């Protein structure tokens, strides 16, 4: 067959075109490298100063931490040494509460209900998809590598585990979505506690009603009256920490109402917009201190950690398995997902997030990293503020890819060390409960250990065996937090790309409404100006 021009296509033409393209790009790259001047290097260093300082701080923190381990510092000395890092955590946590509320209210209020609804659906579909993928990766990796081969007799145990019922944990999640007191939600979360209570045992009815039988059994009747039974019952309680889920639900609802109020809600829109801007300026100030704080956070944790000898063969293999799983999700799955949907280079996008990722590694808290994530996405990657203000606070609260992967993997690891063969149905149960539990995991350090109890209880595994993995959890917690932050950020980029048409339409509508408002206000402003010009004359005549 011949083409329209009557010539056969050359078999090597496609390869030649590819080779020519590679040559052109190589020549362009050489020209760019040759044209770099000292001023270019200086401007690059100035632009990326924060990122470079933060990366250097992590490296110095690791070196300093390992070099100080030989001094065998006491617990008090370690706390004093870690104090600059503790200050950074407190500064970031101080900004989380106003940032979540102001960003969500302004983000939702800036969109109409239809656009925010579509954006919300896209965000939730992304969160659920990536969490399910993360759980599947965790299950596949742990089944293939099988790190729990052997027995748990010689494994090191550490810490204590608080027992929790899956049903109560699920109900607590729903209760926290609707806090009865917004002020209390700023520093407390509802949590079901358990206590022992005594109950009287019911006396079975006696068939014989004769006087003789009553008299003969009077001693037994008296014993039955005084007989009590003990039962563990759930009672309402609370734990310290910001109820982020409740504040997110309230802020979304409040933002939708303000958005529907139009001119009446403009004053509240302006207030929350100004609050958000003020918080972001405070974040910019704290960023100067962040490298120093991260240095001491990492160094202090390395100095504080137990002797490395406790990490035996099984625990070491478990650590390697978790790292491989998190790397597959963070380095392959998430960038591939971003590229497939947006057709943009994911590594350029991830490059703009380095400071947020390093901060997550240092602080081990996705909520504390939230201010830095906002700054990276909005200022470096140029993501629309209406998207970041909606997607990031929700993502930091419910999207926990790294935690979901870790919980599914750790549950199967504990089953392996107990020589407990899981059937297909139990693996499905683990995947569902790990997904649900990760949503309820608060964005605070080591929250995954608490929700791990729910996952183990669902398939009848011993919850006390969580103590086997606590020795390495401080390190793995940092890696899964970094994965969580990366997942939230890539989600913001994907949602922005999918919502670009709605955002453009909204911009056009806002532009038209501003022009109409200005035209409406012109005659009023002219009248007010005329009245102002007349006022001095009236006042002069009255004097």
Cβ neighbours around 92 below 10 Å, total: 23
Greater pLDDT, 43 or 280: 280
- For 423, the 3-state DSSP assignment is coil
pLDDT digits (tens, 9 = 90+) for 151-184: 665 555 555 555 667 677 778 878 888 999 998 9
Greater pLDDT, 119 or 239: 119
Rounded to 5°, angle at Cα 244 from 240 and 245: 120
pLDDT of 306 over the 90 cut: no
List phi, psi (to 5°) of 408. -65, -45
So what's the pLDDT on residue 237? 84
Q: CA of 205: how far to CAs of 200, 209, 214, 218, in Å? A: 15, 10, 12, 14
Tell me what percent of the residues of the chain surpass a pLDDT of 90: 27
The conformational region for residue 420 under phi > 0 = left, psi -120 to 50 = alpha, else beta, is beta
Residue that the structure tokens 């563990």 belong to: 232
Residue that the structure tokens 């019911």 belong to: 202
**Can you list the domains of the chain with their CATH numbers?**
48-186+240-515 (1.10.3860.10), 195-235 (no CATH)
Greater pLDDT, 475 or 443: 475
pLDDT digits (tens, 9 = 90+) for 37-76: 777 777 777 777 778 888 899 899 999 998 998 888 888 9
Separation between Cα atoms, residue 217 and residue 221, nearest integer Å: 6
Residue that the structure tokens 């040759």 belong to: 34
Which residue, among 277, 269, 254, has the nearest Cα to 110 in the 3D structure? 269
Residue that the structure tokens 């204590």 belong to: 160
Q: Residue 325: which H helix or E strand, with range?
A: helix 313-327
- For 509, the 3-state DSSP assignment is helix
Q: What is the CA radius of gyration of the chain?
A: 30
Q: How confident is the model at residue 459 (pLDDT cuts 50, 70, 90)?
A: confident
So what's the pLDDT on residue 541? 38
- For 196, the 3-state DSSP assignment is strand
C-beta of residue 451 within 8 angstroms of C-beta of residue 295: no
pLDDT of 522 over the 80 cut: no
Structure tokens at 127: 């969160």
- SS3 sequence of 99-153: HHHHHHHHHHHCCCHHHHHHHHHHHHHHHHHHHHHHHHHHHHHHHHHCCCCCCCC
H helix and E strand count, the chain: 24, 2
Separation between Cα atoms, residue 38 and residue 46, nearest integer Å: 12
Q: Which of 206-210, 334-338, 464-468 has the lowest mean pLDDT?
A: 206-210
C-beta of residue 103 within 8 angstroms of C-beta of residue 373: no
Whether the CA torsion 168, 169, 172, 173 is positive or negative: it is negative
**N residues, the chain:** 543
Structure tokens at 417: 């060390």
Q: How confident is the model at residue 83 (pLDDT cuts 50, 70, 90)?
A: very high
C-beta of residue 366 within 8 angstroms of C-beta of residue 443: yes
- Burial pattern 479-510, b for ≥16 Cβ within 10 A else e, equals bbbbbbbbbbbbbbbbbbbbbeebbeebeeee
Show Cβ contacts of residue 380 under 8 Å, excluding neighbours closer than 6 positions.
Answer: 352, 353
In the 8-state DSSP scheme, what is residue 310? G
Q: Mean pLDDT across the stretch 354-372?
A: 90
Which of 244-253, 337-346, 525-534 shows the highest mean pLDDT?
A: 337-346
pLDDT of 347 over the 60 cut: yes
pLDDT of 233 over the 70 cut: yes
So what's the pLDDT on residue 337? 96
pLDDT of 330 over the 90 cut: yes
- Burial pattern 151-161, b for ≥16 Cβ within 10 A else e, equals ebeebbeeeeb
Q: How confident is the model at residue 12 (pLDDT cuts 50, 70, 90)?
A: low
Q: CA of 391: how far to CAs of 58, 94, 152, 387, in Å? A: 28, 20, 42, 6
Which residue, among 347, 364, 362, has the nearest Cα to 490 in the 3D structure? 347
Separation between Cα atoms, residue 236 and residue 300, nearest integer Å: 36
Q: Residue 237: which H helix or E strand, with range?
A: strand 228-240
C-beta of residue 84 within 8 angstroms of C-beta of residue 292: yes
- For 8, the 3-state DSSP assignment is coil
Separation between Cα atoms, residue 110 and residue 388, nearest integer Å: 12
Alpha helices in 146-289 (DSSP H): 166-177, 182-185, 211-216, 218-226, 244-261, 266-286
Q: Mean pLDDT across the stretch 291-317?
A: 80
pLDDT digits (tens, 9 = 90+) for 408-432: 998 999 888 888 888 888 888 888 8
Q: Which of 126-140, 184-198, 273-287, 437-451 has the lowest mean pLDDT?
A: 437-451
pLDDT of 206 over the 70 cut: no
Tell me what percent of the residues of the chain surpass a pLDDT of 70: 79
Separation between Cα atoms, residue 463 and residue 164, nearest integer Å: 10
Greater pLDDT, 453 or 188: 188
Q: CA of 198: how far to CAs of 110, 205, 233, in Å? A: 56, 22, 10
pLDDT digits (tens, 9 = 90+) for 107-145: 888 877 777 888 889 999 999 999 999 999 999 999 999
Average pLDDT taken over every residue of the chain: 80
So what's the pLDDT on residue 485? 94
pLDDT digits (tens, 9 = 90+) for 254-274: 998 998 888 888 899 999 999
Separation between Cα atoms, residue 428 and residue 423, nearest integer Å: 9
């Amino acid at each position: 067959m011949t083409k329209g021009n009557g010539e056969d296509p050359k078999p090597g033409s496609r390869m030649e075109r590819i080779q020519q393209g590679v040559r052109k790009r190589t020549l362009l790259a050489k020209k760019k490298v040759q044209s770099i001047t000292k001023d270019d290097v200086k401007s690059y260093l100035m632009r990326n100063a924060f990122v470079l300082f933060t990366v250097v701080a992590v490296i110095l923190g690791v070196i300093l931490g390992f070099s100080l381990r030989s001094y065998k510092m006491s617990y008090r000395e370690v706390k004093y040494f870690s104090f600059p890092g503790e200050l950074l955590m407190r500064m970031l946590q101080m900004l989380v509460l106003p940032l979540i509320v102001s960003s969500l209210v302004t983000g939702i209020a800036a969109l109409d209900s239809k656009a925010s609804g579509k954006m919300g659906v896209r965000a939730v579909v992304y969160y659920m998809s990536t969490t399910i993928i993360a759980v599947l990766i965790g299950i596949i990796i742990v089944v293939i590598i099988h790190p729990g081969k052997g027995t748990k007799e010689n494994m090191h145990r550490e810490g204590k585990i608080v027992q929790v019922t899956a049903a109560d944990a699920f109900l607590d999640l729903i209760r926290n979505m609707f806090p009865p007191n917004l002020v209390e939600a700023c520093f407390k979360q509802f949590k079901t506690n358990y206590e022992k209570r005594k109950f009287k045992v019911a006396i079975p009815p006696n068939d014989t009603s004769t006087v003789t039988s009553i008299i003969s059994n009077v001693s037994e009747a008296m014993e039955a009256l005084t007989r009590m039974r003990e039962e563990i019952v759930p009672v309402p309680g609370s734990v310290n920490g910001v109820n982020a889920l409740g504040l997110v639900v309230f802020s979304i609802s409040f933002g939708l109402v303000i958005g529907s109020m139009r001119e009446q809600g403009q004053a509240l829109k302006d207030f929350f917009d100004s609050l958000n801007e003020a918080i972001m300026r405070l974040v910019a100030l704290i960023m100067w201190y962040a490298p120093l704080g991260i240095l001491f956070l990492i160094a202090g944790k390395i100095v504080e950690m137990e002797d490395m000898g406790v990490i035996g063969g099984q625990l070491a293999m478990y650590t390697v398995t978790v790292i491989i799983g998190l790397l597959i999700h963070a380095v392959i799955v998430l960038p591939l997902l971003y590229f497939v949907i947006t057709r943009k280079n994911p590594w350029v996008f991830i490059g703009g997030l380095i400071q947020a990722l390093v901060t997550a590694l240092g602080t081990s808290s996705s909520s504390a990293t939230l201010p830095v994530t906002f700054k990276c996405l909005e200022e470096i990657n140029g993501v629309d503020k209406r998207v970041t203000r909606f997607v990031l606070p929700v993502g930091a609260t419910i999207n926990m890819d790294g935690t979901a992967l870790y919980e599914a993997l750790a549950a199967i690891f504990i089953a392996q060390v107990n020589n407990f063969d899981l059937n297909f149905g139990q693996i499905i149960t683990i995947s569902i409960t790990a997904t649900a539990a990760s949503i309820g995991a608060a964005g605070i350090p080591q929250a995954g250990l608490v929700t791990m109890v729910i996952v183990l209880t669902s398939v009848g595994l011993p919850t006390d065996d969580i103590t086997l993995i606590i020795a390495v959890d401080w390190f793995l917690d940092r890696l899964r937090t970094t994965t969580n932050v990366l997942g939230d950020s890539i989600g913001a980029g994907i949602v922005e790309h999918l919502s670009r048409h709605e955002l453009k339409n909204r911009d056009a509508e806002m532009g038209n409404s501003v022009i109409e408002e200005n035209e409406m206000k012109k005659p009023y402003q002219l009248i007010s100006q005329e009245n102002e010009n007349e006022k001095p004359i009236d006042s002069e005549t009255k004097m």
